[in-house]
Structure 1
């Protein structure tokens, strides 16, 4: 089943539901929205979990996560039993995730990075977590979709600046995996204030009014936990993403994608 992105008026609906049945609901999470309440952000009042629950009229259970600055497909279960099944599917790598990202520099056409990631605790959320955890296996695959060279000297070392539009396919699901892997490869994601390059982030804010991290969970493919039917969930891109794609003439690179 191919679930296309819906057109929802954001002025009347606080979230965009892209799929729903009696067992599941998937939304297109906006950038900057927390999945659930956190001690790190006590002042926040909007959360994906509560907004989804209110929209569908029943309790929902998170089965995976997206970082706050990441947008895209976020899946919830409507019961604890379905949540357990989905969590197992994610753990057993039976769910395929495709992300879009804009990174600094020219990425090779395709490749993989197998680089273990150490545990990085949050000051408050992981206050009581053990710091002796060994580094965890982390594998990410990528495909370069488009490239551009701009006549702006963002770095003092170069007269021009280069960027790539890439598709990222994580094989594992470690904390901040894609962001940390791109940093490790010296191709940080544009707009990433934790693992990115501040000069390029500022350039995108001032030149293109892009105030978000350019990482988007575009598709999620899995077998339905109850019916076994294949599901392909898709999340559309927001205005800031579309502005960059249009400015760089990358729209066709995304529209021509064959997800699977």
Structure 2
């Protein structure tokens, strides 16, 4: 098994580039899974690590761990208090411009895992800034209504941290993220699988900015946009 790519590493923190499909930690909701980012990072550096935030299983990108419980507590608090700036790239259906969506979201509950959770909890504030980086119109009739199909490469910045916020917000705007099997469009998901060989959710955590909990210095982490997200926007020979 190859090592995970390290984005940042010091005496207190380590950040890796989590592949799409890798769980952050063991979950009985995905009992078939045998690999987890938490255990792989622990084995890779030879010491215990503590997760301070999460990425959905199909989302790739920057995943930050603390190397001790005190640092984990400080960083978890920073995430909770919205002191961490997160940036993502995504491919969405259609042409979407720039803007901000302020649309509260009800908590998504799992029928089994959240059996005893409050079922009618009020919707919580959820805000996402979005910026269009590129657009493409392709000569394929993915839907019967149009002879061509359009896509946008987006930069997304969630200002809150609700479950599946980016996926749900893009769906609410009627520009779902490609590869989203829960909130997306199956026709376009299949088109990307068949035409571009994309087998994943086209959403990646590409930047993370925060104040180091011990040195108080600004930490800015950044990854390039994954190749899978760029395939539709690359010129053909």
TM superposition score normalised by structure 1: 0.87
| Greater alpha carbon shift after TM alignment, 69-78 vs 116-125 | 116-125
Give the Å deviation of 1:125: 2.6
Q: Give the conservation status (yes or no) of the 8 Å contact 1:148–1:248.
A: no
CA contact under 8 A between 2:107 and 2:162: conserved in structure 1? no
SS in structure 1 opposite 2:234?
A: helix
Question: Structure 1: how far apart are the matches of 2:233 and 2:88?
Answer: 15
Q: Does 1:87 align with 2:73?
A: no
1:72/1:236 contact within 8 Å kept: no
Q: Post-superposition shift, 1:45?
A: 0.6
2:87, 2:206 within 8 Å by CA — same for their partners in 1?
Answer: yes
Partner of 2:95: 106
* Change in 2 beyond 3 A, CA 1:112/1:239: closer
Deviations 1:183-210 (A, max 9, x none): 0000000011111000000000000111
In structure 2, the gaps of 5 or more residues are: none
Name 2:191's counterpart in structure 1. 203
Identify the residue that residue 143 of structure 1 maps to in structure 2. Answer: 131
Q: Which residue of 2 aligns with 1:12?
A: 2
Matching residue within 23, 28, 31 for 1:34 = 23
The reply on whether 1:240 has 2:193 as its aligned counterpart is: no
Query: Following TM superposition, by how much is the alpha carbon of 1:244 offset from its aligned partner in structure 2, in angstroms?
Result: 3.8
| Equivalence for 2:108 | 120
Deviations along 1:36-91, one digit per CA (max 9) or x if unpaired, are 11111111110011111111111111111111110000001111111111111111
Q: Please name the residue that 1:3 is paired with.
A: none
Q: Which structure 1 residue ranges, 5 or more long, are not aligned?
A: 1-10, 250-260
TM-score (norm 2): 0.96
Which position in structure 2 is the counterpart of 1:55? Answer: 44
Which residue of the other structure, out of 158, 164, 173, is the alignment partner of 1:176? 164
> CA RMSD for the aligned pairs?
1.5
Count, aligned residues: 237
User: Does the Cα contact within 8 Å between 2:211 and 2:217 map onto a contact in 1?
Assistant: yes
Distance in 1 between residues matched to 2:120 and 2:41, nearest whole Å: 36
Give the C-alpha shift of residue 105 in structure 1. Answer: 0.6
Deviation, structure 1 residue 236: 3.6
Note if 1:69 corresponds to 2:26: no
User: What is the CA-CA distance between 1:92 and the residue it aligns to?
Assistant: 1.3
For 1:231 and 1:100, how far apart are their aligned partners in 2?
Answer: 20
Distance 1:12 1:30 in 2: 12
User: Within the alignment, does 1:163 sit opposite 2:139 as a pair?
Assistant: no
8 Å Cα contact 1:99-1:218 kept in structure 2:
yes
Cα distance change, pair 146–153 in 1 and its aligned pair in 2 (3 A): same
- Deviations 1:227-254 (Å, cap 9, x if unpaired)? 01111112344442353443589xxxxx
